[in-house]
């Protein structure tokens, strides 16, 4: 077994360079907060308002509750098995079916790349608006591709540099949301906003109140995802058993509170119907609530906010491929670490190429964001079940243990929100289906590669995973 403890130093026992533990609690907190904040709240607040009217904050609150249930499951698993492969690792340990493990890994990877690609397109659109450029569809795509290439270079340079960049970008996107909250409370105090709108339901007449909130929650959930990415950084964190529980829960509470306050501020200033038009809802809030505020500055803030989402999601996707390669669920090629930079350079290149394809050929923010949430809701359902199954697998170190009722509720709520009864656009299932079909093809290629090299999925790590440390 290849140990992943810090004592092994910069080289693994198989001779390959290892990842370096550079993240302490504050860097991890900023990583989590920065990953959750970003494209979702900046781009989808208006779309949520379309579903429920003035109570736009309610779907964000429900999404926060569902995410919190699943976060407790992740806490038990990441402190029990603190390795880089995340949900796919837990699935394999719980069920031992290599095909299912591969599909879960592929779904998580695709969700990260899809989210990053959406953020890249949003970056390009905001770049065009902030500087008054008329780039057209081709120009926006070109800027998005160039931006994704820049993300790949930052990712390749190293997690230390990437996380430092995340610190700066997180502070920028936080400042943008604090500007919205500040403008909202300032306008309310001066009588220039209508706080009563925040308590006015305007559900779809055909859906009714309950199903309108559910539909809004399926969109808002995209804004709450990101906490799960942090478990893929476990091998690059110091003392993950101790710091993960308090840091992850703190990050979720902070972002949940910010989302509710942003939603209330936005709807108090801009009516729901107007907020739901276009892809720059918060820019409308700034324009209406603080006419003297330079809109180009907020446009740049938004641009950097979605840039942070892209950076963190590409970090996650490449680390997931690296981790699964070490389990032989993917070919060993993806587990190669650059001797100088100590980063998984092959995995970074592969995930970047997939992002290029999504940017060039797939749809806009709403559909890609909702598809990302759909994929992750399915994964979260599996993870919540895996927690219960893995209770029969004791390990030789202390770890967090979540109350049994929480993963049960988490599995039921995630499965419910992933279903077609929520009013999802069928195109989301089509996009997800195509991605899963691609996963099946890659699984076949992986089986062929393993057969050629005499390896079997999980040979190197899975047999003794419970002996971490």
| Spatial distance between the Cα atoms of 345 and 157, rounded to a whole number of angstroms | 9
Structural domain includes residue 246: yes
Written as six digits, the tokens of 121 are 């397109």
Structural domain includes residue 126: yes
Nearest-5° Cα angle at 193, 52 to 254: 65
Overall pTM > 0.85: no
Pairs from 164-168 (Cβ < 8 Å, separation ≥ 24): 165/311, 166/30, 166/31, 166/34, 166/308, 166/311, 166/312, 167/27, 167/30, 167/34
Look at the alpha carbons of 152, 153, 156, 160 in this order and tell me if their dihedral is positive or negative.
Answer: negative
Number of domains forming the structure of the chain: 1
pLDDT digits (tens, 9 = 90+) for 231-246: 766 666 666 667 778 8
More confidently predicted of 232 and 431: 431
Structural domain includes residue 138: yes
More confidently predicted of 408 and 113: 408
pLDDT at residue 22, as a whole number: 56
- For residues 418-435, give the mean pLDDT: 87
Written as six digits, the tokens of 388 are 């219960």
| Spatial distance between the Cα atoms of 75 and 412, rounded to a whole number of angstroms | 18
Structural domain includes residue 242: yes
pLDDT digits (tens, 9 = 90+) for 136-149: 778 888 888 999 99
More confidently predicted of 245 and 15: 245
Pairs from 344-350 (Cβ < 8 Å, separation ≥ 24): 344/318, 344/319, 345/156, 347/317, 347/318, 347/319, 347/321, 347/322, 348/152, 348/155, 348/156, 348/314, 348/318, 349/152, 350/321
Nearest-5° Cα angle at 215, 32 to 198: 80
Q: 224 lies in which domain range?
A: 6-467
Residue 419, H or E segment: none
Is 37 in contact with 170 (CB distance < 8 Å)? yes
Instruction: With cut-offs at 50, 70 and 90, classify the pLDDT of residue 360.
Output: confident
CATH number of the domain at 457, please: 1.20.1740.10
Share above pLDDT 70 across residues of the chain, in percent, rounded to a whole number? 84
pLDDT at residue 235, as a whole number: 62
pLDDT at residue 236, as a whole number: 64
Number of residues assigned to the chain: 469
pLDDT at residue 465, as a whole number: 34
pLDDT digits (tens, 9 = 90+) for 246-284: 888 898 999 999 999 999 999 999 998 888 776 678 888
Q: Is the pLDDT of residue 411 over 90?
A: yes
Average pLDDT for the chain: 80
| Spatial distance between the Cα atoms of 141 and 120, rounded to a whole number of angstroms | 9
| Spatial distance between the Cα atoms of 386 and 82, rounded to a whole number of angstroms | 15
Structural domain includes residue 371: yes
Structural domain includes residue 1: no
pLDDT at residue 171, as a whole number: 83
pLDDT digits (tens, 9 = 90+) for 27-72: 778 778 877 877 778 877 888 888 898 899 999 999 999 999 999 9
């Amino acid at each position: 077994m290849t140990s992943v403890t810090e004592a092994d130093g910069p080289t693994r026992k198989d001779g390959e360079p290892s990842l370096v533990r550079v993240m302490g609690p504050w860097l991890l907190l900023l990583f989590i907060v920065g990953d959750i904040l970003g494209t979702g709240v900046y781009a989808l607040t208006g779309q949520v308002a379309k579903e429920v009217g003035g109570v736009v904050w309610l779907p964000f609150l429900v999404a926060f509750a569902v995410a919190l249930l699943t976060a407790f499951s992740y806490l038990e698993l990441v402190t029990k098995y603190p390795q880089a492969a995340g949900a796919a690792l837990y699935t394999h340990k719980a069920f031992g079916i290599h095909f299912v493990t591969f599909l879960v890994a592929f779904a998580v990877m695709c969700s990260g790349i899809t989210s990053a690609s959406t953020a890249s397109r949003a970056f390009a659109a905001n770049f065009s608006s902030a500087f008054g450029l008329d780039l057209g569809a081709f120009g926006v795509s070109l800027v998005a591709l160039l931006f994704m290439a820049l993300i790949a270079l930052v990712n390749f340079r190293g997690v230390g540099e990437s996380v430092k960049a995340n610190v700066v970008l997180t502070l920028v996107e936080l400042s943008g949301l604090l500007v919205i909250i500040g403008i909202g409370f300032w306008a309310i105090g001066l009588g220039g906003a209508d706080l009563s709108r925040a308590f006015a339901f305007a559900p779809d007449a055909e859906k009714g109140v309950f199903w309108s909130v559910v539909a809004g929650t399926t969109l808002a959930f995209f804004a709450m995802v990101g906490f799960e990415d942090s478990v893929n950084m476990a091998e690059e964190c110091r003392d993950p058993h101790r710091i993960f529980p308090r840091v992850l829960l703190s990050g979720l509470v902070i972002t949940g509170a910010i989302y509710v306050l942003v939603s209330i501020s936005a709807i108090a200033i801009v009516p729901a119907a107007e907020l739901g038009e276009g892809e720059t809802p918060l820019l409308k809030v700034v324009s209406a609530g603080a006419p003297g505020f330079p809109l180009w500055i907020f446009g740049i803030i938004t641009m950097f906010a979605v840039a942070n989402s892209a950076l963190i999601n590409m970090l996650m996707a490449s680390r997931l491929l690296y981790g699964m390669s070490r389990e032989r669920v993917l070919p060993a090629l993806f587990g190669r670490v650059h001797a100088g930079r100590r980063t998984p350079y092959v995995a970074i290149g592969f995930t970047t190429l997939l992002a290029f394809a999504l940017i060039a050929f797939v749809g806009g923010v709403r559909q890609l964001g909702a598809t990302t949430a759909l994929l992750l809701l399915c994964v979260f359902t599996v993870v919540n079940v895996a927690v219960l199954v893995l209770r029969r697998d004791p390990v030789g170190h202390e770890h967090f243990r979540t109350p049994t009722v929480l993963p049960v509720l988490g599995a039921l709520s995630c499965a419910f929100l992933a279903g077609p009864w929520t009013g999802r656009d069928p195109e989301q299932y089509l996009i997800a289906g195509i991605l899963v079909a691609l996963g099946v093809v890659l699984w076949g290629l992986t089986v062929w590669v393993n057969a050629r090299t005499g390896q079997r999925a999980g040979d190197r790590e899975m047999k003794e995973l419970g002996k971490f440390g």
